[in-house]
Chain A
Amino acid sequence: MKLLIVEDDTSLREIICRALRSEGYIVESAATFADAQDKTAAYDYDCIMLDIMLPDGNGLRLLEHIKSLNKSNRIIIISAKDSIDDKVEGLDLGADDYLAKPFYMAELSARIKSVLRRGNAAVSNIMKAGNISLDVHGRTADINGNTIPLLKKEFDILLYFLQRPNHIVDKAVLAESVWGDHVDMADNFSFVYAQVKNLRKKLTEAGATVNIKAVYGFGYKLTETDETAS
């Protein structure tokens, strides 16, 4: 998979490249409108991450240009402007997703996987880890073909973990992602613990080969257990 990062901030460009390379992607980058125009014309990319505020032009015009090339690449807009107008215009022009700065790298990585999956109809909307498969749109979780009954929050938590396998997930970050702005002043995350506990119990009862492990005092990590043989 080949990705192009169009971002004018050197430091952010570097960290995105490094993180995505470590996930096994081939990553190229462009710092300016002109550079991006040259690269998109000359090469094919599977997914382009596009900052819409560039020093020498509006990223939305670049988006139009890329779309006019009629290539099959996916486009994710990354923008400091979290405005609905920009989002709507970007998506109207054919972007596949819109991510407002600042974002977690894991989030970007999950969005890239998601839009790349959309490009591949055969595996669309199904995420797998161990013997669990998650239908993102149907919002169902199967283990060995049996659907396990998950509540809304439990599903959201499991999805969050599946998008970040082997990443340490901070309790507070998990809470913010699942509960949104509601938790921004929470001082106690026992409600996350309660949900994770229920989810774990359901996974174990259904014989899942993945486990949500507590890491240090404040995080979790989704790991595959070695009992796949059973």
Chain B
Amino acid sequence: MKLLHRVALNLTLVLLPIIALWAIIFYHSMIEEINDEADDSLADYAEMIIRRQLAGYPLPPLNSGSNNSYTIIPLETAVEPFIKYHDEMVFIPEEEDTEPARVLTTVFPDNNNCYYKLTVAMPTFERDDLRNAIFWYVVALSAVMVLTILVATTLIFQRSMRPLYALLRWFDKYSPGKITEKIPDSDVHEFHKLSQAAQTAVNRAEEHFQMQKQFIGNASHELQTPLAVIGNRIEWLIDNTAINEEQYTELSKIQHTLNRLVRLNRTLLLLTKIDNGQFPETSSIDIAALIRSEIEIYDEIYSHRNIQHTTDAPESVNVKMNETLAGILITNLIKNAFVHSPDDSNIKVILQDDTLEIANSGSAPLDAEKIFDRFYHDGKSGSTGLGLALVNSICRYYGLTTEYRFEHERHIFKIKGFHRDF
């Protein structure tokens, strides 16, 4: 949920009951006032009739055009005078219908101590109309008020939060080691502090990133000479001393392990170089031809495993890439497929448009989250666990997307987004 929506929702949740309560109170007090007015005018009317009755003046005609009606009934017994208001249905002769009306009942004595009961009725359809009108006005006013507040808040909110959104957009674009723009700053105190905090965090992350890169690079460099010394000493032992087969076997095994270490070290250096962007030269590389020649080489190397392969690719597909990196990318993908294929299985390579897909048989899915990480292995001896990390680094360098999925007992690696060079 966006912050703006959250604020609008909260505002609505708070405003609606308050405004509704206000509307109800307002409506009721209005109605109260109207009833009071009506009762007052009924009382005036009744008083006018009583005065006329007592003074002996003629009473107003029943049909005076005001829809008001009255009845005066003499009472047999004396009753304590009272005034009572109530609502009831009254027959209005002019309308020839019964209508809701406000009725005043009162009892008064005349000079002769004769008691009369006066009932004055005033139809309330006018009052009901008013009531209705007031009700709708209150509803409409409340709705417009809520809407106005929401719109105004939204606009003001968006305007005030601009620096925050600018900062968020900057974070979306940020990736370690690749700073392109400055962190957006603001003269609003809070946003300025946020910006500063972000700058501090990013600086620290950058520093760690650089240090880590440098450490791997330096460590690998420093290892080269000792590795050369060990290798050369073993070589010297083999070539220049009288050793028996058993000793030779041991030395040769040490040499093999050392070779693995050398490869591992070389690959780490290579990864550092890719991440440092040290392969800037690009040329037009025919990856279709590259794929075919790599497959031919691996077909020979793994011929004892009887792995079948099919390649579905156009005659040539030229892409703009660094020649070394293109070679490493394709080699590692195809090597990975051959190395991890069971005997007598098959590998399928599809190159179509900007997408390369390599599928090989397997028994269980791999961890898609970790498969492109450094040193993720399946425990196969000789594996450096860096092949797919190299693939990932190169893809990241060129903005290609990598995808792994397991489908129908097959591992499928997909590289998408090659820039065709025509």
Q: Decide yes or no whether A104 CB sits under 8 A from chain B.
A: yes
Instruction: Determine the chain A residues whose CB is within 8 A of the CB of B235 once the complex forms.
Output: 19, 104-106
Q: Once the chains bind, are B245 and A185 in contact (CB under 8 Å)?
A: no
Q: What CA separation (Å) do A170 and B252 show in the bound complex?
A: 8
Chain B residues whose CB sits within 8 angstroms of the CB of A83 once the complex forms = 273, 278
* Contact, CB under 8 Å: A182 / B259: no
Give the residues from 130 to 167 in chain A that come closer than 8 angstroms, CB to CB, to chain B: 167
Interface residues of A in 99-114 (CB under 8 A from B): 100-106
B302 with A186: CB separation less than 8 A: yes
Stretch from B104-112, B172-180, B377-385 contacting the other chain: B377-385
Binds A, one of B130-138, B147-155, B293-301: B293-301
Which chain A residues lie closer than 8 Å to B84 at the CB level?
none
| In the A-B complex, the 8 residue pairs with the closest CB atoms | A102-B228, A80-B224, A101-B224, A102-B227, A101-B228, A15-B232, A11-B229, A12-B229
Interface size on B, residues (CB 8 A): 47
B64 within 8 A of A: no
Chain B, Cβ-Cβ closest to A190: B304
Whether B63 sits at the interface, judged by CB under 8 Å, is no
What per-residue 1/0 map shows which CB atoms of A173-205 lie under 8 Å from chain B? 100100101111111101100100000000000
A104 in contact with B383 (CB, 8 Å): no
B301–A102 contact, CB under 8 A?
no
A residues touching B (Cβ–Cβ < 8 Å)? 9, 11-12, 15-16, 18-19, 22, 80-85, 100-106, 167-168, 170, 172-173, 176, 179, 181-188, 190-191, 194, 216-219
Q: Is B192 an interface residue (CB 8 A)?
A: no
Interface 0/1 of B215-240, CB less than 8 Å to A: 00000011011111101110110111
Interface contact A188-B232, CB-CB below 8 Å:
no
- What residues of B have a CB within 8 angstroms of the CB of A101 in the complex? 224-225, 227-228
CA A104 – CA B228 in complex, angstroms?
8
Looking at the assembled complex, report how far the CB atom of B250 sits from the nearest CB atom of chain A, in whole angstroms.
11
Whether B290 is near chain A, meaning CB under 8 Å from some CB there, is: no
Q: How far is the CB of A172 from chain B (nearest CB, A)?
A: 6
Separation of A16 and B273 alpha carbons in the complex (Å): 29
Given contacts A173-B259, A185-B382, whether A12 and B232 have CB atoms under 8 Å apart is yes
B286 to chain A, nearest CB (A): 19
Question: How far does the alpha carbon of A176 sit from the alpha carbon of B259 in the complex, in Å?
Answer: 10
Interface residues of B (CB under 8 A from A): 221-222, 224-229, 231-233, 235-236, 238-240, 245, 248-249, 252, 255-256, 259, 262-263, 266, 269, 273, 278, 294, 297-298, 300-305, 324, 331, 335, 339, 380-384
Residues on A with C-beta less than 8 A from B221 are 80-81
Instruction: From known contacts A82-B266, A187-B382, infer whether A9 and B229 are also in contact, taking CB-CB under 8 Å.
Output: yes
- Distance in angstroms between the alpha carbons of A11 and B381 in the assembled complex: 31
Contact A173 B232 (CB under 8 A): no
Evaluate contact between A12 and B382: CB separation under 8 angstroms. Answer: no
Q: How far is the CB of B256 from chain A (nearest CB, A)?
A: 6
7 contacts between A and B (CB under 8 A): A82-B269, A84-B278, A104-B231, A104-B232, A176-B259, A182-B294, A217-B249
CA distance A208 to B233 in the complex (A): 33
Contacts of A18 in B (CB 8 A): 236
Assess the B252–A105 pair: CB atoms within 8 A.
no
Contacts of B278 in A (CB 8 A): 83-85
Question: Once the chains bind, are A184 and B263 in contact (CB under 8 Å)?
Answer: yes
In the complex, which residue of chain B has the Cβ closest to the Cβ of A187? B382
CB within 8 Å for A12 and B228 given contacts A106-B235, A179-B301, A185-B339? yes
Query: Does A191 lie within 8 Å of B300, measured CB to CB?
Result: yes
Query: Which residue of B225, B252, B324 has the most chain A CB atoms within 10 A of its CB atom?
Result: B225
A83 to B222, CA, bound (A): 14
Q: A80-B224, A182-B331 are in contact. Are A218 and B273 (CB under 8 A)?
A: no
Specify which chain B residues have a CB less than 8 angstroms from the CB of A12 in the assembled complex. 225, 228-229, 232
CA distance A194 to B303 in the complex (A): 10
**Cβ A102 vs Cβ B262 within 8 A:** yes
Residue on B nearest A22 in the bound complex, by CB:
B240
Report Cα–Cα, A167/B248, bound state, in Å: 13
Say yes or no: B382 contacts A102, CB within 8 Å.
no
Which of B233, B249, B382 sits near A184, CB closer than 8 Å?
B382
- Which of A22, A103, A170 interacts with B255 by CB under 8 Å? A170
